Amino acid sequence: MEKIVSLCKRRGFIFQSSEIYGGLNGCWDYGPLGTELKRNLKDFWWRRMVRERDDVVGMDGSILMNRQVWVASGHEATFTDPMVDCRNCRSRFRADQLPEKNGRKQCMVCGSEDLTEPRAFNLMFKTYVGATEDESAVTYLRPETAQAIFVQFKNILEVSRKKLPFGIAQVGKAFRNEINPRNFTFRSREFEQMELEYFCRPDHGLELLEYWLKERLRFYSDIGISSDLLHVHKIPPEECAHYSKGTYDIEFQFPFGVQELEGVAYRTDYDLTQHQKASGKPLEYFDEETKQHFIPHVVEPSAGVDRTVLALLCAAFDEEHVTDEKGKTETRTVLRFHPRIAPIKCGVFPLLKNNERLVGQAREIVDLLRPHMMVFYDESGAIGRRYRRQDEAGTPFGVTVDFDTIGENGPVNDGTVTMRERDSMKQERIALAEIKSFLLERIS
C-alpha cells in the first residue's frame, strides 16, 4: 500500500487535500492522472448503466436538500456509527472497528482498555442555509446520492414516460463525517458515489437483485478488475437493514484486507413509502394493464467512485525485473490499467527532439489523435526512459516516430511508426494511416 500511495503522489494521481496547511483528514485531491482515471471510470459507468440501455435515465441532484428529506429517510435519527473515547489517550474510534484482546476492546493507539461506553454519532455534516444560524435553517450535506432520486421519482417518471421496470442513475458527491477516515481514500469524509435506483413491481425484486449483481460483476471485469480479486458477500438476513429483502456486498481484495466496493440492495418500497408519508404527495405508479396504483419496489446497485479508483490502482500496480540489451537489470514499475480506463491512452515520441521532421511528424500524430483520446507528447530524454515514465502512468500504448517513419532508411518502412504495447513491451510497425483505428479499437 505504501508503494501505491507514494506512486500516487509522485505521478500526480492523488494528493492530500490542503496539503500545504497540513491537510484535512479524510479529504483528498486528484491530480492530472487521477482526474482522468476517475473521469474514465465515471464515463464508463454512465455508458454501461444509462446510455447503452432503454430502461435507465439519468439525473443530477443538488447536494443540499430540504431537511425533511433526511428526517423522512431516517438518516437524521439513525444514520450513526457507535463511537467510543479512550480515557487514557483521548483518541476517538468507531466501536465496531476496535481490536479485542481476551474479549475486551482495546484502544488502537495506546492499547488501553479504559474506554467509554459506545454512543451514537450521526455521520451527516450539519450546515445552515441562509443568513440565520438557527434550527429552522439546518440541513445536511447529503450522505448518499440516492435520496435525490427517490424525491424526484414522480417528476422523472412523468417526463421520461418509462414503464416499470426502469431506473434512475446518478453520479455525485456524498459526505460523511467518518469517525476514523483511513486506508488512504478508502474511507473518506468527502467522496463520490455512482448509484442506480431500479424501480420494479414487488414480485420482480428478488429476481432483479440477482440480475444487478451479475451486471455489476460484469462491469468490474470490463474495467480490468479480475474476478480473482473480487468477493461476493451475501449479507445474512439478520444483518440487513430492516427494510431490505436481500443485500450483496461486492468486495475487493485490497492490500489492507477484503473490503466493500459496492452494495447491491433490494430496498423494497421503503424509501418511496417514507417520502410519500412525510411529504403528503403521492409517489405511486399506475399500472395501465392491471389498473392498479402501487408504490414500486427498488433494487439499488450503489458503488463508490473513489473506492473503485483505489481498487483499479491496486489491481494495476506491478513491479517486474527487466534486463536491457546491455544486460543491466532494473525494476520496471507499471500500472496495468485496462486501456478503456487508463488516464492516457497513447504516448507519442519523436526519436530525437532536435530533428524537425521527426518532431513535425510526431506533432501531426498528436493532432490526429487528440479529438478522440488523451495523448501525451514527450520528446525529452532517452526513448527507454520515456517508455518507463508512461509505464508508471499506466499508458497502454506508445508511438515512436523514427528515421524509418520519415523515409530516411529507405522505402521498406517508410510511413510506419513503432507501436509499443505497455504490458508485453512488444513493438510492431504499423502504418501512419492505421494508428487511429488501431488505438480506437482497443480503448473503446
Query: Where along the sequence are the contacts to ligand GAP (CB under 6 A)?
Result: 144, 146, 176, 178, 187-188, 191, 193, 195, 260-263, 300, 302-304, 306-307
DSSP string, 255-285: TTEEEEEEEEEEEETHHHHHHHHHH-----E
Residue whose C-beta lies closest to ligand GAP: 304
Residue entry with cell 467518518: 178
What dihedral do alpha carbons 372, 377, 383, 389 form, nearest 10°?
-80
Place of cell 501531426: 364
Q: Which is nearer to ligand GAP, 298 or 316 (CB)?
A: 298
**Nearest residue (CB) to ligand GAP, 8 versus 146:** 146
Closest CA to 105 of 123, 121, 87: 87
Closest residue by Cα to residue 399 from 380, 381, 382, 376: 376
In angstroms, the Cα distances linking 60 to 81, 199, 370 are 28, 18, 28
Q: How far apart are CA 376 and CA 362, in angstroms?
A: 11
Closest distance to ligand GAP from the beta carbon of 306 (Å): 5
Report, in Å, the least distance between residue 47 CB and ligand GAP.
Answer: 20
**What are the angstrom distances between the C-alpha of 9 and each of 12, 28, 332?**
5, 11, 18
> Minimum Å distance from CB 169 to ligand GAP?
12
Helix (H, G, I), strand (E, B) or coil at 219: helix
- Least distance CB 341 / ligand GAP (angstroms): 17
Question: Rounded to whole angstroms, how far apart are CA atoms 41 and 128?
Answer: 33
Angle between helix 205-222 and 32-46 (nearest 10) = 140
What is the closest distance, in whole angstroms, from the C-beta atom of residue 74 to ligand GAP in the complex? 12
Query: Which of residues 241 and 406 has its CB atom nearest to ligand GAP in the complex?
Result: 241
Q: Smallest gap, in angstroms, from Cβ of residue 267 to ligand GAP?
A: 8
Cβ closest to ligand GAP, residue 187 vs residue 340: 187
DSSP-derived letter for residue 182 is B
Instruction: Give 146 or 365: the residue with its C-beta nearer to ligand GAP.
Output: 146
| Total residues belonging to the chain | 444
C-alpha 144: how far from its chain's center? 14
Q: Which is nearer to ligand GAP, 230 or 344 (CB)?
A: 230
Amino acid in the structure at residue 312: L
Q: What is the dihedral of CA 28, 216, 165, 61, to 10 degrees?
A: 10
Judged by CB, which is closer to ligand GAP: 98, or 351?
Answer: 98
Q: Which is nearer to ligand GAP, 301 or 343 (CB)?
A: 301
Residue 414 CB, nearest approach to ligand GAP (Å): 52
Shortest distance in whole angstroms from residue 260 CB to ligand GAP: 5
Q: What is the helix (H) or strand (E) element at residue 198, kind and residue range?
A: strand 190-200
Which three cell numbers mark 124?
451527516
- Grid coordinates representing 420 are 509499443
Is the Cβ of residue 105 or residue 187 nearer to ligand GAP in the bound state? Answer: 187
Q: How far is the CB of 308 from ligand GAP (least distance, A)?
A: 7
